[in-house]
Structure 1
Amino acid sequence: MSRGNSNSSNSGGGSHCYHFVFLLLTVSLLSPSASARFFPNVTSIPHDDFLFNATKTAWDAFRNLSGCHHGQTLDGLAKLKQYFNQFGYLPPPPANFTDDFDDSLESAIKTYQHNFNLNVTGQLDPHTLQLIQRPRCGNADIVNGSTSMNSGKAPTPFHTVAHYEFFPGRPRWTKSLLTYAFLPENQLTDDAKGVFTRAFARWSEVIPLTFQQTEDIYAADIRIAFFAGDHGDGEPFDGALGTLGHAFSPPSGRLHLDGDESWVVTGDVTRSSLETAVDLESVAVHEIGHLLGLGHSSVEEAIMFPTLSSRTKKVILASDDIEGVQQLYGSNPNYSGSSSTPSPPTAGQRETSGAPLGGDSTLGLTLLSMFVTVGSVLILL
């Protein structure tokens, strides 16, 4: 998902409405008038009491396309083409997308399979569809028709090929202290804000940048907000387990998260009984990488890999993440070179280690509750 500074580049509700308000924000930095839903009440509740009506996820219907190949026409292929367009694999058509499995879709699938280290068949085989259906970052994998997610070179015993990428032009911050603030209407708890403190710290450990919270969202370098649906930046959110969030390259500083997700703030997300549970810190660390200027990586262990399964914790920077961000900012003089680098996972394992989030060590998960208010927003963060 690489997104630059424009408001409409390739990217790259299931709640009860209790009342309605109308909010005009006068930040002069960003997007034009739009309608969006935001979350003025963020509370902590036990996960077993969490009411969430979105049992079907954003891309569930794609599973019906298994085995589809070139030359076929099948209901749902048009929506799949929209997916590939959203993440940079297909250009927009002169008219509407069709349900034909044509040359352009086959080419897009092959590029996608190459980027994600799958067998390049050009067909919708089970492994490809399984990855397509995973929750992911909303930034595009391909920007302006080019990608460096996967260089196509295999690692040798003597050399490891980097698979990180940057935004076009390699934008970066030119100051060493960056401030960040939260959309006040979200009313985040201290626990939720602490998640971002830890997420920023993971990056500042390896580069000579520091991050400081401020209450002034109008003056902050980085502005963090939860929205649902269309929120005015040209990249609407799509409900549970679709796009989890997106962020813009320096110096925009915008980080948006989908308010319709079942965000886990504290506790062990891997033990959640909620199938839609998503670890907030894991997504925050990834999106901060975009705020710093990193694009996506084809290394599955990397934080900057585009997808994250539900009930998965992934917060430790891999060597690919560290090498990439240090290309932009250099190394933190105090960085030891080892504390953030995970050991390679064994076959079949997924990286779930990381700093404890606190809370009940058994079943006690803290989630962001979805008490929704509808707002008409003039200028969005």
Structure 2
Amino acid sequence: KYLQEFGYVAPSNSLGSAPGSSPDFSDIGSLFKRAITKFQEFAGLRPTGVLDVETKKKMAEPRCGVTDVLAVTSGGAAFKWRKNRLTYSIENFSSDLPRDDVRRAIREGYDVWAAVTPLEFEEVPAGSGADIKVRFGTGNHNDPWPFDGAGKRVL
């Protein structure tokens, strides 16, 4: 379930079968091993494909509810921006963090991406129709991943 919930195994085709057909159980072992390996790589663990103690501990940690592996596709291709210059806005701020620290941390994160991709990021004012909208939220906050604390999701 964890591997499906966080994008390592497609929920609609988790056993390698077409919807409505009988699952192919002969491939379930290799599917599981590939999914575990992908998780281990993402989590910074040694990628063995084995559900070992370290992997189980990592899976049990509190975490964000957003999938690690984005399963958004269009015609079989992964989602891709159609432009290289992207805008972002910080739509609101946490009362627990200084605004300058938030801005700096977000900027530094985008700088990491810009250093290794052809993407450029520019902050624009909130409400200006940015490509990426950064928000601090709790509970159900108008996206598919509510911060409800269930399943080890961080509040």
- The percentage of aligned residue pairs carrying the same residue is 29
- Measure how far apart 1:206 and its partner are: 3.3
- Aligned pair partner of 2:11 in 86, 91, 94: 91
Alignment correspondent of 1:139: 67
- Measure how far apart 1:197 and its partner are: 1.1
Contact 1:134 1:241 in 2 (8 A): no
Q: 1:186 to 1:109 in 2, by over 3 A?
A: same
**1:158-192 CA-partner distances (Å, limit 9, x unpaired):** xxxxxxxxxx5233323333221112364661111
Tell me how far apart the structure 1 counterparts of residues 70 and 117 of structure 2 sit (CA, whole Å): 26
Alignment correspondent of 1:28: none
Alignment correspondent of 2:79: 171
Mark the runs of 5 or more structure 1 residues left unpaired by the alignment.
1-80, 93-102, 145-167, 245-259, 261-381
Contact 1:204 1:211 in 2 (8 A): yes
Instruction: Give secondary structure in 2 for the equivalent of 1:173.
Output: coil
TM-score normalised to structure 2 length: 0.60
Contact 1:179 1:213 in 2 (8 A): yes
- Measure how far apart 1:125 and its partner are: 4.0
Q: 1:143 to 1:202 in 2, by over 3 A?
A: closer
Instruction: Give secondary structure in 1 for the equivalent of 2:109.
Output: helix
Mark the runs of 5 or more structure 2 residues left unpaired by the alignment.
13-24, 41-46
**1:98-141 CA-partner distances (Å, limit 9, x unpaired):** xxxxx7xx757534333222353xxx542331231235552153
Instruction: Give secondary structure in 1 for the equivalent of 2:87.
Output: strand
Tell me the C-alpha RMSD between the 2 structures. Answer: 3.4
Tell me how far apart the structure 2 counterparts of residues 237 and 140 of structure 1 sit (CA, whole Å): 16
Tell me how far apart the structure 2 counterparts of residues 195 and 241 of structure 1 sit (CA, whole Å): 27
Larger Rg: 1
Residue type of the partner of 2:5?
Q
**Is the counterpart of residue 194 in structure 1 residue 104 in structure 2?**
yes
Tell me how far apart the structure 2 counterparts of residues 211 and 90 of structure 1 sit (CA, whole Å): 31
Instruction: Give secondary structure in 1 for the equivalent of 2:146.
Output: coil
Alignment of 1:17-36 (within 5 A): none
